[in-house]
Amino acid sequence: MIAFLLRRSVELLLTLGVLVLVVFVVLRLAPGGPAQVLLGPDRYTPALEARVNHVLGLDRSLPEQVGRWVRSVFAGELGVSYFHRRPASEVVLERLGATLLLGGLAFALSLAAGVSVGVLAAARQGSRLDRLLSHGAVAVIATPSFWLGIGLILLCSVWLGILPSAGLAPVGREGDLGARLRHLILPVVTMAASHAASLALYTRSAVLSVLASDFVRTARAMGASTRRVLWRHTLSAAAVPIITVAGLTLAHFLEGSIVVETVFGWPGIGQLTTASVARRDYPVLLVISLWAGIVVVTANLMADLLTRWMDPRTVEE
Amino acid sequence: MSCYGASGFCDIRRRLGSRWGRAVLGGLLLLLTLPSLLPLDPYRVDLEAILIAPDAAHWLGTDETGRDLLARLLVGGRATLGIALGATLVAMALGTLVGALAGYRRGVTDALLMRLVDFGLAFPSLFAVLLVASLVPPGPVPLVLVIGATSWMAAARLVRASVRQLHGAVYTEAARSLGASAGRVIRRHHLPNLAGVLVVIGLVQFSRSILAEATVSFLGFGVQPPAPTWGNLLMGAQTSVFTAPWLALAPGLAITLTLTALASLGIGGPPSRLPHLVTDTHHHAHPESAPEDSHHLPLRPAPRLAAPADLAPAAGAARRAAG
């Protein structure tokens, strides 16, 4: 177990290192660096650009820049945001809470909704309910999240007028828990929808394939109730592939946050990403990619560990 | 033509050749060609007709500068589908190349290439697309390349798994013992057998690319207005969603309908007939939903019905029996 953890950790650290390095190099190869954005079209002169680049260290050779950056990372320095003029890690950390709140709730919702809908559809396989749920899921997957978001805003904010359309909380009432919760509903649902739908389809097929197996028939023959067969025997056997998929999905909530935060004006990492890309704020982008890498890598590791715990057969390699 | 041998190919040919399959493909073809044949002008500004709700003159209404939404939707559709088609071709070519090489060579080449695939999968692809899209001047060609270059991994995995499987076949051994080179065996013997798998993966890839283009353009890093695509039409619509909701409804519906139609091809029929073993061949969120060929955990029970497994010849037969 410990050997497995160690080996995976080394692998994951390597992946993380390569990822950040790639981002670093790609950003440096960009035509039109941050100097142009920082100076703006009015003040821009080639001489000033050269000075800005010199101050930011962008005029050095690529290997030198990489070396300096790696050394500073090991010293605990992640660079200073060009735009905010503050440590990039601070800028990202400020936004992290909002994104984690949104992503965490959306992940929990998609897991709960996806698995229950999937089990329900499988239990009633072939029925009208099954068809409704399955087709519904296919349709939801085919709906881009930003359009779903706009549609929900139209429905709930514009026509029904029951939910707020954007932001964290109404201005001046940030402490109002009810208001904050109401602001969460639409973004969370938007973010969770497609993941819930794909998880539902996935759960449905995993459960169906387990339902066809011998031990389920045996359990039934021994008089176990349908509910017991479904939740106790079938779902625990079907859990392994579901967990694998859910783990991979977690990583994709990162991408979801970019879109959903843009639609709902949610001040998190996603918005920071698009803004920083536009501003060429390299240090912030590097911290974000580091953070994204950590999330992806941890999610995969967790899924692996859970799988091993749920299904001992996967331990022998 | 009779169908024998690779049953995956038969299956997909049967599905694409069905009345429904032909309708979907025909519709897509129309969307791609029609805008060039019709006298549409998506750029004609009409300040007398700003933000008009759908009526007889403007079937889908007009936008904030009085441009006709129907014209913009059709021309935008051609752009979106064209970019998605190009990106799919790029991804399929890359994926087939990498997958065939890894599956055929095995050993160190295989290990290295699969690391590359893992890396590509671990990288949040939207992030990659945004990064690169911000580096090059935005436009259709960079989008095709960027989306293609960030979405070849699923195809590579599938092709690798199939090539490994085919590699054990007697005729492959025969060809090799007769002195056929690796390139020849892959080209003449493996690829024709892979055709079915490739078509299916191509369809999935196509829907994903449509979504990718729409997303990137929606975020403002794709094709720049005034040139329309389904994605940037939605971006423009967001600002006036309270006053002119029709601007958001039409492009969104266009995307959803197209993707649903494509998904129904993967399922194998019109949406009214759902076979009892269905899952996410149309999945956009996680490209590698079933690590069937997972080389970390060989004993991990492969979820039988996930996208790649669903494409396996055996599953095709199961589906036939079911549908």
pLDDT tens for each residue of A161-173: 778 777 777 666 6
CA A178 to chain B, closest CA, distance in angstroms equals 25
- pLDDT, residue B260, reads 85
ipTM over 0.90: no
- pLDDT, residue B172, reads 82
Lowest mean pLDDT segment, chosen from A32-36, B103-107, B189-193: A32-36
Whole-angstrom Cα distance, residue B59 to residue B41? 14
- pLDDT, residue B9, reads 57
pLDDT exceeds 60 at position B312:
no
- Higher pLDDT pick, B323 / A100: A100
Neighbours of A116 (CB within 10 A): 13
H or E element at residue B216: helix B191-218
Q: What is the pLDDT of residues A233-288, one digit of tens each?
A: 888 888 877 877 787 777 677 778 888 998 888 888 988 988 888 888 888 888 88
Q: What is the pLDDT of residues B10-54, one digit of tens each?
A: 666 667 777 777 888 888 888 888 877 777 778 777 777 777 778
pTM for the complete prediction?
0.78
> B276 falls in which pLDDT band (50, 70, 90)?
very low
State both tokens at B250. 């039409």
Contact A19 B260 (CB under 8 A): no
Find the CB nearest A274 among B130, B257, B298: B130
Contact A139 B135 (CB under 8 A): no
User: Which candidate in A18, A147, A245, A300 is best for mutational testing of the B interface (most B CBs within 10 A)?
Assistant: A147
Q: Which residue has the tokens 């002195």?
A: B179
Contact A194 B126 (CB under 8 A): no
A274 CB neighbours in chain B (<8 A) are: 130, 219-221
Whole-angstrom Cα distance, residue B218 to residue B230? 8
Find the CB nearest B303 among A30, A241, A274: A241
B40-58 burial: b if 16+ Cβ within 10 Å, else e? bebeeeeeebeebeeeeeb
User: Which candidate in B224, B233, B280 is best for mutational testing of the A interface (most A CBs within 10 A)?
Assistant: B280
- For helices A177-211 and A145-152, angle between their N-to-C axes, nearest 10 degrees: 130
Interface membership of A202 toward B (CB under 8 Å): yes
Interface membership of B277 toward A (CB under 8 Å): yes
Whole-angstrom Cα distance, residue B192 to residue B291? 24
Which residues 129-168 in chain A show a CB within 8 A of chain B?
131, 134-135, 138-139, 141-144, 146-147, 150-151, 153-154, 158
Whole-angstrom Cα distance, residue B212 to residue B216? 6
State both tokens at A144. 């881009």
